[in-house]
Amino acid sequence: MSQLDTLKHYTTVVADTGDFHQLAQFKPQDATTNPSLILKAVQKPDYQPLLKANQAQHGQLPMDERIDRLLVRFGCEILSIIPGRVSTEVDARLSFDTTATVARARRLMALYQAEGVARERVLIKIASTWEGIQAAAALEREGIHTNLTLLFSLCQAVACGQARVQLISPFVGRIYDWVKKSAGTAWDEAAQAGVNDPGVKSVTQIYQYYKHHGIATEVMGASFRNLGQILALSGCDLLTISPELLAQLADSQESLVRHLDPESARATTVPALHYNESGFRLALNADAMATEKLAEGIRAFCADAVKLEALMYA
């Protein structure tokens, strides 16, 4: 079997793309999107008819609703190919506004339901700010399930567990990028590979914490830079993987070893943590990497949202 087939025995494989034409060949269970991936997709010739149709049908609506309808259109196309769930992101410019995030999430879900999509097949992606986590808690109480993204630290994961969110997406590759850049000439790629990769270690810590304390929130490793990071997290609840890396996994026949399993994680000794708002903000502030990467990620998604709006005006 290919590494991709073997990985699917241990982990739910999720495709990380807005390009739904690429999905069928990899047979993922779920799929995730974000503003950057949607922007990349709509600039391809294959998706110009979809963009133009959205403009023709909804061009009279306010821009934010036109964007939401485009996101839902992509989501519906993806759901016609995969058996599981699609993640659709709330505008990153609302990352520090709990009330506005809840309202936008409700509208996205209403648009999906108007297309005949059940709530269980949609995850609303929200940045893992304190405000975003509180919005997710409110949405989960309403039966709208969430995927907390731009997650780089244990304190964010603990707060998400307290909020009983459905799923979190800790970012492996962006942690790796920050630590490598910070190390400079002292960086040793071989010594920091596989299970020793800083991003892999962060996700492993979160996975063990959740399993040890019986937290039901799903852990989905995200943002991978290489196959080694993926293979070192085999057994994680879910892994969301780009089409390029999915293709590499599909082409490889090398053996794959399971690294994470719930029984072993439950046997570890992991102290319980709890955060109120001030404690969360202090813990996040103490983690320079998480603070910087969260802010950077929000800025990048905001910039791509603006670029997407510009395409809608064109």
Annotated catalytic residues are: 125
Instruction: Give the burial class of 282: count Cβ atoms within 10 A of its Cβ; 0-12 exposed, 13-18 middle, 19 or more buried.
Output: exposed
Instruction: Give the burial class of 62: count Cβ atoms within 10 A of its Cβ; 0-12 exposed, 13-18 middle, 19 or more buried.
Output: exposed
CA distance 163 to 148: 11
CA distance 234 to 22: 23
The pair of three-digit structure tokens given for residue 153, joined into one six-digit string? 């630290």
Q: Hey, how many other C-beta atoms are within 10 angstroms of the C-beta on 149? A: 29
CA distance 13 to 72: 22
Q: Hey, how many other C-beta atoms are within 10 angstroms of the C-beta on 276? A: 10
Radius of gyration of the chain (CA): 19
